[in-house]
Amino acid sequence: MKFRSFLLSTIILGSLVVTNATVLAEEIGSSTSETTEVNQMNEVQTTETSASVLTQTTEAVSTTDTVTDTSATNEMATNETAASETPTNENPETAEEITNQLTDGQTITHTHQADLSEFTNGVMARSARVANTSQQAFIDSIASSAQSLANENDLYASVMIAQAIVESGWGKSTLSAAPNYNLFGIKGNYQGQSVTMPTSEYVNGQWITVNAAFRKYPSYKESLQDNAKVLKTTSFQSGVYYYSGAWKSNTKSYKDATAWLTGRYATAPNYGSTLNSVIETYNLTQYDTAKVSTSPMYRLYNRHTGEHLYTLNAGEKDYLPKVGWKYEGIAWQAPNSGQPVYRMYNPYSGDHHYTMAQSEINFLKPLGWRYEGLSFYSGGSKPIYRLFNPNEKTGTHHYTLSASERDFLTPLGWKYEGIGFYGY
């Protein structure tokens, strides 16, 4: 596959016990993710190269991408072939040079030279998929960092992960593997750390093999950070960002982002479709949904007063059973941020009440209720139902994630008051 060489400037970058009330088994949702099986190549040869020397008046940092050549055939999941790595300067005419001018004045040259047929013709063959634990292991090793960086930078984690797969040949190149962790072949040093490796450069009209210093990162995260910086800060005109068409806020889906990268990040006409194939085959869009940090909301029951207590405090959860309370499990998962839910306490009845409404807090205080402050946060898509029992003096309010528990209690005299808040 031949690439056109061109130059650009760049930037670096969860049981209610009321008679026979139902347990909370259904109250705790769980999510599963399926790993799509894929077809594995018998042979993978990765070669690291970098093209061209760029003369700049500003600091120049070159990048080299992994070259991957494969012949794809069906193989069993347990028969994984290790990739061989040999620095070479063969077929130098396939190299393309793209320089990014960052808004901080730094320049980074991205040399894309990957053979995309590995990902379009072999790995992506739907008719002959086989499980590959090493490939999933690579995805797992970068997914968390990619997801966090994508959320911070208005980018698609799916696209970031797919690029890392394509650019580094599944992290099997010497440069991208431990202890170097350089996924995108960026030259120079990182906090004074570098690794010297052979690379091909175009000097005085011909290709030669030279030893060059490449950035050595402490982990994949820092390498992903550099690439995210390129996508966010490359600009050749004040206020105009070269890769803005790949940002989440400017697109409807990841496919819009990969289409924008085609002809810009890499000139290969099938670059976007290759990334799409990788994203679809490995279900990488699961990482585009922001990961929400949650904490378990513990539920306890006092058989003497009939009250249910809800708390995030593990210490409170462990102490109360020692003084007569029954621990009933996790009522739901509460987000660690969102809309605040406050806790009120009635020292005369020993009852607790939870509300998001300041007006309710203001109403209860003159009646003798004590304000105990923030209890937890409301957020998510699962409704927490609120019920009221007018026949009781304590434990008058009940909160549950279970619709069946809600429906069981109403015929027993409980009044359904609607959705109190939300959780996970």
Same domain, 71 and 202: yes
Same domain, 215 and 337: no
Same domain, 275 and 318: no
Same domain, 273 and 333: no
What pLDDT score was predicted for residue 380? Answer: 78
Count of the separate structural domains present in the chain: 2
In which band, very low, low, confident or very high, does the pLDDT at 202 lie, cut at 50, 70 and 90?
Answer: low
The pLDDT of 65-82, averaged and rounded, is 36
In which band, very low, low, confident or very high, does the pLDDT at 72 lie, cut at 50, 70 and 90?
Answer: very low
The pLDDT of 51-70, averaged and rounded, is 35
User: What's the pTM value of the predicted model, to 2 decimals?
Assistant: 0.48
Distance, in Å, from the CA atom of 95 to the CA atom of 86, rounded to the nearest integer, reads: 17
Same domain, 310 and 397: yes
Domain closes at, from 288, 309, 326? 288
The pLDDT of 289-297, averaged and rounded, is 83
Distance, in Å, from the CA atom of 335 to the CA atom of 358, rounded to the nearest integer, reads: 20
Distance, in Å, from the CA atom of 155 to the CA atom of 149, rounded to the nearest integer, reads: 8
Residue 300, pLDDT > 60, answer: yes
Distance, in Å, from the CA atom of 67 to the CA atom of 168, rounded to the nearest integer, reads: 8
Same domain, 227 and 306: no
The rounded percent of the chain whose pLDDT value lies above 90 is: 38
Contact 25, 175 (CB under 8 A): no
Domain of residue 418: give its range: 294-423
In which band, very low, low, confident or very high, does the pLDDT at 387 lie, cut at 50, 70 and 90?
Answer: very high
Same domain, 93 and 132: yes
What pLDDT score was predicted for residue 188? Answer: 80
In this structure, the chain runs to a length of 424
9 Cβ contact partners less than 8 Å away, ≥ 6 residues apart: 99, 100, 101, 107, 236
In which band, very low, low, confident or very high, does the pLDDT at 408 lie, cut at 50, 70 and 90?
Answer: very high
What pLDDT score was predicted for residue 337? Answer: 83
Same domain, 155 and 183: yes
Distance, in Å, from the CA atom of 220 to the CA atom of 167, rounded to the nearest integer, reads: 13
Of 130-139, 292-301, 399-408, the range with the lowest mean pLDDT is 130-139
In which band, very low, low, confident or very high, does the pLDDT at 27 lie, cut at 50, 70 and 90?
Answer: very low
Residue 18, pLDDT > 80, answer: no
Same domain, 307 and 211: no
What pLDDT score was predicted for residue 340? Answer: 92
In which band, very low, low, confident or very high, does the pLDDT at 112 lie, cut at 50, 70 and 90?
Answer: very low
Closest to 398 in 3D by CA, of 17, 41, 119: 17
**Do the domain assignments include residue 123?**
yes
Written as one letter, the residue type at 106 is Q
Same domain, 177 and 262: yes
**Do the domain assignments include residue 11?**
no
Report in angstroms the alpha-carbon separations of 155 from 44, 146, 150, 189, 242.
30, 9, 4, 26, 14
**Do the domain assignments include residue 245?**
yes
Closest to 398 in 3D by CA, of 390, 407, 387: 387
Reading the block at residue 102, the tokens are 């960052």
**Do the domain assignments include residue 19?**
no
Distance, in Å, from the CA atom of 165 to the CA atom of 170, rounded to the nearest integer, reads: 5
Mean pLDDT of the chain: 75
Per DSSP (E only), the strands in 365-405 are 370-378, 382-388, 397-400
